């Protein structure tokens, strides 16, 4: 089963959805905002990719955090902040046959899915 995680108004998520559809890949879309995100799911991604790979430090949500939080961020606080504010997670997150990937590159999707 292929699942694409993200938020529906993200341009990169839209590009990934178009690529998946165009290439005939059946997938389920899971919107962080509408569908939520469990701590167990996030911890699986952190174990697979590392929290640094998941935390979007270029996001508006990151910039909105206090300097105290940003300057002392570690795995525990990153997980806590990403659960509280899912838009801190880089998008999209693709889950396919026990493989997890963050971001969208056509070449990476093609190598994994075709």
Question: Which residues are tagged catalytic?
Answer: 10
Q: What does the alpha-carbon distance between residue 28 and residue 33 come to, in Å, rounded to a whole number?
A: 15
Residue 10 backbone phi and psi in degrees, to 5: -80, 125
* DSSP letter for each residue of 17-59: HHHHHHTT---EEEEHHHH---HHHHHHHHHHH-HHHHB-TTS
């Amino acid at each position: 089963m292929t699942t694409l995680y993200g938020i529906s108004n993200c341009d990169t998520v839209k590009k990934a959805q178009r690529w998946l559809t165009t290439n005939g890949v059946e997938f389920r879309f899971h919107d962080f905002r509408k569908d939520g995100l469990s701590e167990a799911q996030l911890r699986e991604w952190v174990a697979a990719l590392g929290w640094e790979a998941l935390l979007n430090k270029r996001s508006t949500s990151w910039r909105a955090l206090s300097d105290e939080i940003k300057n002392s961020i570690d795995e525990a606080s990153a997980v806590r902040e990403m659960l509280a504010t899912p838009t801190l997670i880089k998008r999209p997150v693709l889950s396919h046959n026990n493989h997890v990937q963050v971001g969208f590159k056509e070449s990476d999707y093609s190598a994994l899915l075709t």
